[in-house]
Amino acid sequence: MIILGLNAYHGDSAAALVVDGKLVAAAEEERFRRVKHWSGLPTQAIQWCLEDAGLKLKDVDHVAINRNPGVNNLKRALYVLRKRPSLGLLWKRLGNIRRAASFEDQLQSAFPGQTLRAQVHRVEHHLAHLASAFLVSGFEEAVCLSVDGFGDFASSAWGLGHGDQIDIDGRVFFPHSLGIFYTVITQFLGFPHYGDEYKVMGLAPYGEPKYLPQMRQIVQLQADGTYRLNLRYFRHHSDDVHYTWDDCCPEVGTLYRKEALEELLGPERGKNEPLEQRHRDLARSAQAMYEEAFFALLKALHGRYGTDQLALSGGCGMNSVANGKVYLNTPFKRMYLPASAGDAGGAIGCAFVVARQQEPTPRYVMDHAYVGPEATEAEVESLLKARAQDLLTAGCTVNQMDDEGALCQVTAEAIAEGKVIGWFQGRMEWGPRALGNRSILGDPRRADMKDILNLKIKRRESFRPFAPSILREHVAEWFEQEDDVPFMMEVFQVRAEKRALVPATTHVDGSGRLQTVHRETNPRYHRLISAYRDLTGVPMVLNTSFNENEPVVCRPQEALDCFLRTKMDVLVLGNWVIRR
């Protein structure tokens, strides 16, 4: 049975292919179009998934999309009757619903000459989120929670997962949303682009929660563990806010009422204005408010369901700082976080919802994210020959090393020497994190490595941290918690006695957003870090995404282009080592 799952007409459009109950391919559309967070129908991701599996569109039995315009319509109607939002807002919402409702025609037209015979399934947005975690977690039973911006008129949903079923028992409906709250503070702090929330999370440790009382006026916790927004500070529920979702990087207009929010928090940060301590304190206060609401909901859900396992998803599931505190602040003892908790993950989630409905198959556990495109050695060799003149002009040497041990040793030595390494291996990672196949690597021992990376390649805000990839068997020696974090979705405190040893991957508050590296799921990356450990005594390397203000590189030509236009020292393309 062949099932194609889609996240379409929203940020981070993506496709996933499930065959006989197993995920065989998945990729975000942005990686092919080279436009961050690309929104629309993910035709190129669909094409790649099918080609990778040797299939055509006609071979697909079921197509699932993570939107269902038919759900929660009574809530929608009652809201419109009570609140009477602007006609412009209503028209845009209806237009977005119509696009999702008629996507079969658009899918068919994108593949001319191929017949779409598949049955189409519209899966509620939050059910797809919940499934992207629980149905691939390996848990027999768990509390399932999705915390998001909005999808199908809800911002959160929760219930109990058991076996192949997820029973949704509760939701927080529009216009109340923790995701919208965090986006509003992100915009207020002068970060206007779609997906900039992680900048606020990175800025927060530099501040103090001095504005937490004011944040509590914006987000109001309820006795049942849920939350409501004080809507006097928001525009998304009533005004014609600008949204762009069609074939582009998404754009979202200002979601807050300027005068009201400035009266509460002081003046907004304008474009290109310097970051002041007040802005850092606002970021810390917003993070503290999010955590307060998040943990209150988790405690209530644990009390309701009485199970110690949690499957967490939704866009807010990308808040790795809060995720890393779940065990400290709630009774949960085990947690599964998918590689892509946000909207892209809905492509996998809706595919598995349909898979479980159609026929029983052995439970699939997603313990790694290496399900994207890969390049053969022949393709890499052909590329290097075609670009020989460019490499010569740049003063590069090229060597092929078929001995994996020698390749990892040479790369580990270069890292230990302070070199910046582009590391392109195997199948591309699914999700927003580079996990050792499309990564830029550096020496975590060097206090100046952050500045070196920002100067040579990343050109990003200096307050944003870089992450450690650590051998799974050494986590307890270096971090205060020992959870498995294969998808780099949790932040833990580095042990106090170790922080000075790895300053480049230790944030200002003593934390690190770690990735645990397993020999079984990524043997070459594990071998590289092991070689670096043998040289230095440190079982981790600095890992950041292989890109330069663009989507993470997908194909070898993009890796080579990024290497040549930046000041990277070494590029390892499969078995090929390119040095400046």
Query: Does 35 fall in a domain?
Result: yes
Residues 134 and 210 in one domain: no
Collapsing DSSP to helix, strand or coil, 194 comes out as: coil
Query: Does 69 fall in a domain?
Result: yes
| CA-based radius of gyration for the chain | 23
Residues 437 and 474 in one domain: yes
- Pick the last residue of a domain from 265, 298, 332: 332
Closest CA to 190 of 267, 118, 124, 138: 267
Residue 526 vs residue 241, higher pLDDT: 526
Residues 263 and 286 in one domain: yes
Residues 350 and 305 in one domain: no
Please name the residue that has the structure tokens 């396992």: 309
Please name the residue that has the structure tokens 């495109």: 373
Closest CA to 5 of 434, 486, 522, 364: 364
Burial 258-273 (b: 16+ CB within 10 A, else e): eebbeebbeebbeeee
Structure tokens belonging to residue 303: 């009390």
Query: Does 503 fall in a domain?
Result: yes
Residue 431 has pLDDT above 60, yes or no: yes
- Pick the last residue of a domain from 323, 358, 393: 358
Residues 80 and 186 in one domain: no
List Cβ neighbours of 175 (8 Å cut-off, separation of 6 or more): 79, 229, 231, 234, 236, 237
| Digit-coded pLDDT (tens) for 198-224 | 999 999 999 999 999 999 999 999 999
The rounded percent of the chain whose pLDDT value lies above 90 is 87
Q: How does residue 304 score in pLDDT terms, banded at 50, 70 and 90?
A: very high
The 8-class DSSP code of residue 510 comes to S
Structure tokens belonging to residue 341: 């908790």
Residue 32 has pLDDT above 80, yes or no: yes
Query: Does 122 fall in a domain?
Result: yes
Q: What is the rounded (10 degree) CA torsion for 340, 346, 347, 348?
A: 70
Residues 90 and 187 in one domain: no
Instruction: Return the CATH number at 321.
Output: 3.30.420.40
Residue 66 has pLDDT above 80, yes or no: yes
For residue 175, cis peptide bond before it (omega within 30 degrees of 0): yes
Residues 308 and 394 in one domain: no
Degrees to nearest 5, angle at CA 378 with 376 and 381: 115
Q: How many Å apart are CA 293 and CA 286, to the nearest integer?
A: 11
Residue 249 has pLDDT above 70, yes or no: yes
Q: What is the pLDDT of residue 162?
A: 96
Query: Does 515 fall in a domain?
Result: yes
| Digit-coded pLDDT (tens) for 435-473 | 999 999 999 999 999 889 988 887 778 888 899 999 999
Neighbour tally for 569: CB within 10 Å:
20
Q: What is the pLDDT of residue 139?
A: 98
Residues 397 and 314 in one domain: no
Residues 114 and 222 in one domain: no
Please name the residue that has the structure tokens 């009570």: 82
Residues 431 and 478 in one domain: yes
Structure tokens belonging to residue 153: 């008129």
C-alpha pair distances (Å), 394 with each of 291, 365, 379, 419: 48, 45, 21, 17
List Cβ neighbours of 577 (8 Å cut-off, separation of 6 or more): 398, 399, 400, 401, 407, 410, 411, 570, 571
Q: Which helix (H) or strand (E) holds 93?
A: helix 87-101
Provide the mean pLDDT of the chain: 94
Question: Helix 178-188 vs helix 258-265: angle between axes, to the nearest 10 degrees?
Answer: 80
Q: What is the pLDDT of residue 87?
A: 59
Q: How many Å apart are CA 324 and CA 314, to the nearest integer?
A: 16
Query: Does 158 fall in a domain?
Result: no
Q: What is the pLDDT of residue 120?
A: 96
Structure tokens belonging to residue 301: 């859900």
Closest CA to 299 of 284, 286, 310, 315: 310
| Digit-coded pLDDT (tens) for 351-370 | 999 999 998 888 999 999 99
Q: What is the pLDDT of residue 33?
A: 97
Query: Does 367 fall in a domain?
Result: no
Which phi and psi (to 5°) does residue 220 adopt? -115, 115
Residues 385 and 352 in one domain: no
Neighbour tally for 334: CB within 10 Å:
15
Which phi and psi (to 5°) does residue 342 adopt? -80, -160
Domain count of the fold of the chain: 3
Interval 327-345 mean pLDDT: 98
Q: How many Å apart are CA 426 and CA 434, to the nearest integer?
A: 13
Q: How many Å apart are CA 147 and CA 150, to the nearest integer?
A: 9
Q: Residues 347, 7: contact at Cβ < 8 Å?
A: yes
Q: How many Å apart are CA 300 and CA 150, to the nearest integer?
A: 22
Query: Does 150 fall in a domain?
Result: no
Q: What is the pLDDT of residue 498?
A: 98
Closest CA to 349 of 159, 165, 151, 129: 129
Which phi and psi (to 5°) does residue 484 adopt? -80, 125
Write out the residue range of the structural domain in which residue 92 sits: 2-138+341-358
Residue 332 has pLDDT above 60, yes or no: yes
φ/ψ region of 129 (left if φ > 0, alpha if ψ in -120 to 50, else beta) reads: alpha
| Digit-coded pLDDT (tens) for 74-131 | 666 666 666 666 655 555 555 665 565 578 888 999 999 999 999 999 999 999 999 9
Q: How many Å apart are CA 381 and CA 379, to the nearest integer?
A: 5
Q: What is the pLDDT of residue 90?
A: 58
440 bridge partner residues: 422, 544
Residues 39 and 188 in one domain: no
Q: How many Å apart are CA 144 and CA 78, to the nearest integer?
A: 27
